[in-house]
Structure 1
Amino acid sequence: MTLSLTEELLSKYQSQVENDPRSRLAINACWKTDPLEVCLQRQKVYQTNHVFNHKVESEGRPVCNQKSSGRCWIFACLNVMRIPFCKAMNIDEFEFSQAYLFMWDKIERCNYFLNKMVELAQRGEEVGGRLVSHLLHDPISDGGQWDMLVNLIARYGVMPKKCFPESYSAENSMRMNRILTSKLREFTNELRALVSKDGDDSLIQETLERMMGDVYRIVTICLGVPSKTFTWEYYDKTKAYNKVGPITPLEFYNQHVKTVYNIEDKVCLVTDPRPTNLYGHAYTVDCLGNMVGGRKTIYNNQPVEKLMNFTAESIKAGEAVWFGCEVGKRFAGKLGIQDISVHDFKSVFGVEVNLGLSKANRLIYGDSLMTHAMTFTAVTLNDENQAEKFRVENSWGEDRGEKGYLIMTDEWFKEFVFEVVLDKKYVPEDILAVFNQEPVVLPAWDPMGALAKTV
């Protein structure tokens, strides 16, 4: 049975809208105004305040801005890391170089992609098949996952932003990405031709080295070449002069950062409520990575209540928390409010929006996926020690929310947060044991890998 949109049926729909006073009012209101702004509930906005009964001792300054790039995962990590670092160094303001990790991720990820293209060609995957086609669609996006950060920092370290500042392509990555995407597709064609001609490993290796030379040139022209060593000079809170270096970025991390924030002591927990993906099991996503021979992206799947409780415990202990979510739904962007009741869609459109499906079904039907990473810095707990709201440090500058900080309700957390990263000491042993499992491999296009494909 099919439905045809006949003139009679369309006239019926038109009459229903035109004869409904609420619909006529909504049409006028939405004529020159953002529909989401029209749906805002004034009372809900007035009831929102940035006062919390548990907060990390000192939030990082300044509020960062990733601008027109998909580097949220890098910003969120470095925002978490700088809080204990600033305390240890006795400084008020500091930024790690986001561009530094971004540069190495681009280079490593291009190498990972090209090696993966060789592997897939050798095992007979067709270029028109779903897997290769999916990977070629967006081979070098800006997004990333926690285990990718571990790969980068463990190998390349970190450095102050003053020693490797932003460039145009770091803040506006689209042009660079298009150049790299075009070259990676060109290189894939050449590599597949080599494999089909039974090219030996030495010839493939030689070809990959040449290709990566071109990639390195493109990336460093756009983002810059970091010095092998740097010297960082600064004044602490007492106005005393201090100097670190000359030192390599890896030495800087190992000697001055790792002692207060060891990235390898952190674990990633996700909540995926789809019936096919059981809690208490480990998962990974096929072809999702950024470093050849690097650490795999592993998801430890747990109920959302556990993620929320562990996050609250971490904040109570003074440690901020990196997390991944779907940022676009039930979010008053300018005001920085993440609350499932901040918009009243029913009154404006006559229908509910976003919550017609369960969290599991939104994943299944393509209506939800991780799109953004940020940092939890505060929480309010009720008399039963349950979280009611969270304070969120974003990386979109100071123009949104409370000078760059958002507020999130517990209901929003349950619906749209998918992932948190915590120190092992806040996670029970039975949950940590899940990381010892052989992970179930989800397909490359699974929504749980979406944060690493976000631009």
Structure 2
Amino acid sequence: MGEDEIVPGIDKKLIEEFKRDFEGDAKNLIARNVITRHGLSETYLDRAIVNATSHVFQYKVSEAKPITNQLSSGRCWLFACLNAIRIPFIRFHKLEEFEFSQSYLFFWDKVERCNYFLDVFEEVARKKEAVDGRLMMFLLSNPVNDGGQWDMLVNLIKKYGLIPKKCWKESSCSEASRDFNRILNYKLRECAYRIRTLVLDTNANKEELQKEKDTMMKEIFGVCCICLGSPPSSFTWEYYDKLKQFNTVSDVSPQLFYQKYVKPVFNMDDKICLVNDPRNPYGQLYTVEYLNNMSNGRITLYNNQPMDVIKKLASTAIRDGEPVWFGCDVGKHFVRKLGLLDLKCHQHDLVFGFSSLNLDKKSRLLYGESLMTHAMLLTGIERRSEWQPSKWRVENSWGDSSGEKGYLVMTDDWFSEFVFEVVIDKKHIPKDILTILEQKPIVLPAWDPMGALA
């Protein structure tokens, strides 16, 4: 190798220096020996935080049984919503326990979201978007997955209603959805190719293309029925109340069931979605391009508010006995076995020599370090002062093997950094915040992190 030839990669002399410095510190050798054998999560867990963790709260809503389990699926947004609805439903109908059918909403979300994808793809094809451009690549990256947003739930429940889980149970593909999604994603990409060809090569008009899309949707509907079952147009619900008295609701449609038995205690139209996005001005209304699950349905709207406002409104709702649906980045500073969400639970600096909290919330969003990944339910608070909680109780949907039989503890500091969205009943929200919903929303691009599906 000649004197002037550039050596690729890191200089070997520099690597030798790195190695000498690393092995010259006994703390590094201990950390290496322990972590290579036992892994990270348990090794750098702060023992003092573990001992201080308590599942005791001043205020708790009347929680419901049984604890739910989404199993190997990404349906947390559905589970969290239905867990919120069942709390007043159980209270009003005097039940011991109850679940709504998560699989029922899952079915209709898949069908509607596939149809929405076909309509969107026709639109972007008519705009002559490049197939290898950023928008097309984003839309094709995962055409239909399990996650969702609050306004998508409003679309589904208002159109299709609700069913008790006893009347439409889980299927293998709802409990473990990966293969089901793989088939749908293949089919949608094939349909996208056909739609783009019809638009650009044959110049098909709206009527011709709609006929083709109807044929595509017939195939997709069949896939959903095969994998999840065919949803009933009516059902009969038989149950015992707390007094062990037999009750029956006979031959009722899912839509009527929602209107007559659910809406009086939980009206989807009364719930307002608030977000905390420090990249953008507060007091503004936002949406994300192509973030929806239903053509011509309610669009996803984000009312951007400071975190202190969000916390105060969430606290108010809980003290009034109402659970709060929320979206967060659950994987950060989380001890699953203990059910603990705490910024201080892992001592990264003792092991690696640097903090994992050097980026603030805004920077984490901008640089791809954080976004919404999971939806759960706030059901309790411990107060530090009148409007300043010290910790929050969280109902998860991963079964009863973590935390306190499925419930988590979230510190208030963790809430500030990794909660992005809450849903509050409008009766708790001041008029000046409600009027923001009258604004024309600012449209964020389809790939914006606030378009992440919980």
The TM-score with structure 1 as length reference comes to: 0.97
What per-residue deviation string (whole Å, max 9, x for no partner) do you get for residues 355-388 of structure 1?
1101000000000100000000000112343111
Of 337, 355, 360, 1:334 maps to 337
Of 225, 237, 242, 1:232 maps to 237
The aligned residue for residue 412 of structure 2 is 410
Letter in 2 for 1:251: L
Distance 1:304 1:385 in 2: 12
Residue 59 (structure 2) pairs with residue 54 (structure 1): yes
Quick one: structure 1 residues 387 and 3, their matched pair in 2 at CA, closer, same or farther if it must change by over 3 Å? Answer: farther
The aligned residue for residue 168 of structure 2 is 164
Deviating more after overlay: 21-30 vs 109-118: 21-30
Distance 2:160 2:36 in 1: 52
Letter in 1 for 2:255: L
Residue 393 (structure 2) pairs with residue 388 (structure 1): no
Residue 146 (structure 2) pairs with residue 152 (structure 1): no
What per-residue deviation string (whole Å, max 9, x for no partner) do you get for residues 107-152 of structure 1?
0000000000001111221211110111001000110000000000
Distance 1:71 1:16 in 2: 47
Q: CA deviation at 1:3?
A: 10
Describe how 1:283-294 pairs up with structure 2 within 5 A.
283-294=286-297
CA RMSD between the two structures: 1.1
Residue 444 (structure 2) pairs with residue 439 (structure 1): no
The aligned residue for residue 401 of structure 1 is 403
Distance 1:445 1:32 in 2: 39
Residue 245 (structure 2) pairs with residue 243 (structure 1): no
Q: SS of the residue aligned with 1:36?
A: coil
Distance 1:208 1:341 in 2: 52
Letter in 2 for 1:438: K
Quick one: structure 1 residues 150 and 380, their matched pair in 2 at CA, closer, same or farther if it must change by over 3 Å? Answer: same
Describe how 1:313-352 pairs up with structure 2 within 5 A.
313-352=316-355
Q: CA deviation at 1:34?
A: 2.2
The aligned residue for residue 14 of structure 2 is 9
Letter in 1 for 2:426: K
Gaps of 5+ in 2: 1-6
The TM-score with structure 2 as length reference comes to: 0.97
Q: SS of the residue aligned with 1:32?
A: helix
The aligned residue for residue 83 of structure 2 is 79
Residue 309 (structure 2) pairs with residue 306 (structure 1): yes
Residue 79 (structure 2) pairs with residue 88 (structure 1): no
Deviating more after overlay: 17-26 vs 233-242: 17-26
Distance 1:339 1:380 in 2: 15
Distance 1:328 1:15 in 2: 34
Residue 136 (structure 2) pairs with residue 137 (structure 1): no
Distance 2:210 2:387 in 1: 57
Distance 2:228 2:27 in 1: 52
Describe how 1:170-181 pairs up with structure 2 within 5 A.
170-181=174-185
Of 366, 369, 372, 2:371 maps to 369
Residue 439 (structure 2) pairs with residue 423 (structure 1): no
Which stretches of structure 1, 4 residues or longer, exceed 6 Å deviation after superposition? none
Residue 31 (structure 2) pairs with residue 31 (structure 1): no
Q: SS of the residue aligned with 2:104?
A: helix
Quick one: structure 1 residues 227 and 384, their matched pair in 2 at CA, closer, same or farther if it must change by over 3 Å? Answer: closer
The aligned residue for residue 3 of structure 2 is none
Q: Report percent identity of matched pairs.
A: 52
Residue 48 (structure 2) pairs with residue 43 (structure 1): yes
The aligned residue for residue 284 of structure 2 is 281
